[in-house]
Structure 1
Amino acid sequence: MTDSANSKPRSAPRGLYPDIEPFDSGHMATEGKHRIYYEQSGNPAGLPVVVLHGGPGGGTSPNLRCYFNPDGYRIIMLDQRGCGKSTPHASQDISLDDNTTWHLVADIERLREKLGIDKWVVFGGSWGSTLSLAYALKHTDRVSALILRGIFLVRKSELDWFYQAGASHLFPDIWQKFIAPIPADERGDMLNAYVRRLNGADRALATRCALAWSGWEGDTLSIEGPSEAASKFSDPEFALAFARIESWYFKNGGFFETDNWVLENIRTLKDVPAWIVQGRYDVVTPMTTAWELHQAWPEAKFNLVKKAGHSSSDQGILEGLVAAADEALVALGT
């Protein structure tokens, strides 16, 4: 991109900021076997922002740094347990007992303390929006603002829509590939049918199922359709970790106390500045959830992007996220 970095909002259309490299990276120990990869980029003296990737199990990617003005932001990213550069990787170690939402929330807080940050902006899309909200609800006094995209709350209705019946009516051709590894007599409960195979002893079958699981999500991300799917979804190592971790979290309802836990507690965040960016034609995390969050939390700025799906690279979503980050920098930056 040719946009020059500055501390003022840019006029639309906004593109990503230029590629940058981390000035710091490493692994953080946890209370158990996991070691969490993290990195910092941008301005070491800038406004701290922690970027929470999707999935769960999706891992970070370099382009996530580019939503932020590198002159104004101190950009912190981490790979959540079991994926990316964190160890052990879930493609090899299938034990997920110490991998829950609340383990991840504890990791985020541990990283904040390690880096000596008092408060930070929390940025997350899809599962990253779930984790951002969970962290903010537990550590509200450590959150200076929230920037959220593709709202997902791991409710049964959302999981049924994407993995049982709903999105399948919009993408029947892609759905056919998703159900192919599962015998017809088990297709009434696709989530648990996948969980059994992804965590079974037959690695070849687990890999086949992981690629089908990942392909279903990858091919439905963008309003442009399957041709825009990221190549990582067809990588067996990525797919195994991604599918195992996602299905584990989804089987357990995100490890929330109730199906509607986030919305039941959302008023805790009424005074936290927040931006929500949602594609109207998001098939993966449909607009119903974002709308319910907006109704329960009207203080948050709500940007409904009319011609966009789930992907953060759909142009309207991209522009909305960069604009929100620019606005937050003006509002909170020093």
Structure 2
Amino acid sequence: MYPEIKPYHTSTLKVSDLHTLYYELSGNKDGAPVIFIHGGPGGGCDEKDRSFFNPSKYKIILFDQRGAGKSTPTASLEDNTTWDLVKDIEKLREELKIDKWHVFGGSWGSTLSLAYAQSHPDRVKSLTLRGIFTLRKSELKFFYQDGASHLFPEAWDEYLALIPEAERHDMILAYHAQLNSVDDATRIKAAKAWSKWEMATSKLYVDPSYINRAESDEFANAFARIENHYFINDGFMRDGQLLEKQEIDRIRHIPCIVVQGRYDVVCPATTAYALKKVWPELELHIVPDAGHSAREIGIAKLLVEATDKFANLE
């Protein structure tokens, strides 16, 4: 990854009566524009996210989605859907007077990248995607009900502990009740447990510092509440919509590189493979010794190689 840099411009964009987004620009003011689409939903951006791009070649645009990171109001679920976010990305493009840009996203960021590209295929120069997630019911069931639990039984036990046994048949629904409790203590405790489950399973080698992110009240509250809100609503789209042939046909002409960890249990490789089957033109790299995190060495290396490859794309 490239050395860490500071933004040369930070600002906000009011996208509705309620929501205001934080965004920043770094790298080369006259470089190829690239939009970084963070995960979660609700995860927000990190200063290290700028380092996937050559700062001498790219105008790097980071923004926090509705309710996430430095965007306000924090953790808000109102007017917060996939299609609101797609509209926000387009508003940001117009605000920055960009004709076409490169799009980079991992995990939920890959979901939103695909949704945006399928909505505005004429505005996307390339797609660099990681840890493909299309928010199908089968994907949610694997991570939040029956699948990853078989590989991380200790972490799963902690995740289960907050939920009464009678409610454990639908963990997303059970957590929904606690994450929307009027009692602050109940809500924050559930948010930390929800977030910790994801942080504990995101790397091939469990990283205690990564798990510690879940201890932040503010981060956990936004991350858990917004994720759960999207998942309880099936991503506000048809099951498997992003993989439908007519949707892929809209973006088939866009150069696309996908980087996928073989042992990603948050967004298992079966989804990246399903995308490759319906879109054989894309370039799929499966990293044999990696899990879910973009920070894992093999994944980060291939993501940087992808952005280097696209930097000079006309």
| 1:219–1:228 CA contact under 8 A, matched in 2 | no
Deviation (angstroms), 1:214: 0.2
Instruction: State the partner residue of 1:34.
Output: 19
| 2:204–2:292 CA contact under 8 A, matched in 1 | yes
Instruction: State the partner residue of 2:300.
Output: 318
Instruction: State the partner residue of 1:17.
Output: 2
Deviation (angstroms), 1:228: 5.4
Instruction: State the partner residue of 2:37.
Output: 52
1:139 partner amino acid:
H
| 2:5–2:26 CA contact under 8 A, matched in 1 | yes
1:274 partner amino acid:
C
Instruction: State the partner residue of 1:12.
Output: none
Instruction: State the partner residue of 2:152.
Output: 171
Provide Cα deviations, 1:215-267, integer angstroms capped at 9, x if missing partner: 000010000124352532221111011100000000111111x1010011112
1:292 partner amino acid:
A
Query: Do residues 305 (structure 1) and 287 (structure 2) align?
Result: yes
Tell me, in whole angstroms, the C-alpha distance in 2 between the residues paired with 1:51 and 1:68.
Answer: 10
1:131 partner amino acid:
L
> Which secondary structure state, in structure 2, belongs to the residue aligned with residue 144 of structure 1?
strand
Instruction: Describe how 1:55-70 pairs up with structure 2 within 5 A.
Output: 55-70=40-55
Instruction: State the partner residue of 1:214.
Output: 195
> Which secondary structure state, in structure 1, belongs to the residue aligned with residue 163 of structure 2?
coil
Which one of 207, 219, 243 corresponds to residue 263 of structure 1? Answer: 243
| 1:123–1:148 CA contact under 8 A, matched in 2 | yes
Provide Cα deviations, 1:184-240, integer angstroms capped at 9, x if missing partner: 110001000000110011111111110000000001000012435253222111101
Tell me, in whole angstroms, the C-alpha distance in 2 between the residues paired with 1:326 and 1:208.
Answer: 42
Provide Cα deviations, 1:70-126, integer angstroms capped at 9, x if missing partner: 000000010000010000001xx5xx1300000100100000000000000000000
Give structure 1 stretches of 5+ with no counterpart.
1-15
> Which secondary structure state, in structure 1, belongs to the residue aligned with residue 169 of structure 2?
helix
1:277 partner amino acid:
V
Tell me, in whole angstroms, the C-alpha distance in 1 between the residues paired with 2:211 and 2:46.
Answer: 11
Worse-matched range after superposition: 211-220 or 29-38: 29-38
| 1:267–1:296 CA contact under 8 A, matched in 2 | no
Query: Normalization by structure 1: what TM-score?
Result: 0.92
Tell me, in whole angstroms, the C-alpha distance in 1 between the residues paired with 2:313 and 2:73.
Answer: 39
> Which secondary structure state, in structure 2, belongs to the residue aligned with residue 74 of structure 1?
strand
| 1:220–1:283 CA contact under 8 A, matched in 2 | yes
Instruction: State the partner residue of 2:131.
Output: 150
Instruction: State the partner residue of 2:272.
Output: 290
1:69 partner amino acid:
N
Instruction: State the partner residue of 1:232.
Output: 213
Tell me, in whole angstroms, the C-alpha distance in 2 between the residues paired with 1:182 and 1:142.
Answer: 44
| 1:137–1:269 CA contact under 8 A, matched in 2 | yes
> Which secondary structure state, in structure 2, belongs to the residue aligned with residue 36 of structure 1?
strand
Query: How many corresponding residue pairs?
Result: 312
Deviation (angstroms), 1:32: 2.0
Provide Cα deviations, 1:51-81, integer angstroms capped at 9, x if missing partner: 0000000000000000000000000010000
Which one of 217, 223, 230 corresponds to residue 242 of structure 1? Answer: 223
Tell me, in whole angstroms, the C-alpha distance in 2 between the residues paired with 1:230 and 1:301.
Answer: 32
| 2:38–2:44 CA contact under 8 A, matched in 1 | yes
Provide Cα deviations, 1:280-321, integer angstroms capped at 9, x if missing partner: 000100000000001111111111111100000111100010
| 2:196–2:211 CA contact under 8 A, matched in 1 | no
2:282 partner amino acid:
A
State the superposition RMSD in angstroms. 0.9
Deviation (angstroms), 1:31: 2.4
> Which secondary structure state, in structure 1, belongs to the residue aligned with residue 60 of structure 2?
strand
Instruction: State the partner residue of 1:279.
Output: 261
Tell me, in whole angstroms, the C-alpha distance in 1 between the residues paired with 2:154 and 2:177.
Answer: 24
State percent identity of aligned pairs: 53
Tell me, in whole angstroms, the C-alpha distance in 2 between the residues paired with 1:231 and 1:186.
Answer: 27
| 1:220–1:226 CA contact under 8 A, matched in 2 | no
Tell me, in whole angstroms, the C-alpha distance in 2 between the residues paired with 1:233 and 1:123.
Answer: 24
Deviation (angstroms), 1:331: 3.0
Query: Normalization by structure 2: what TM-score?
Result: 0.98
Query: Do residues 84 (structure 1) and 69 (structure 2) align?
Result: yes
> Which secondary structure state, in structure 1, belongs to the residue aligned with residue 201 of structure 2?
coil
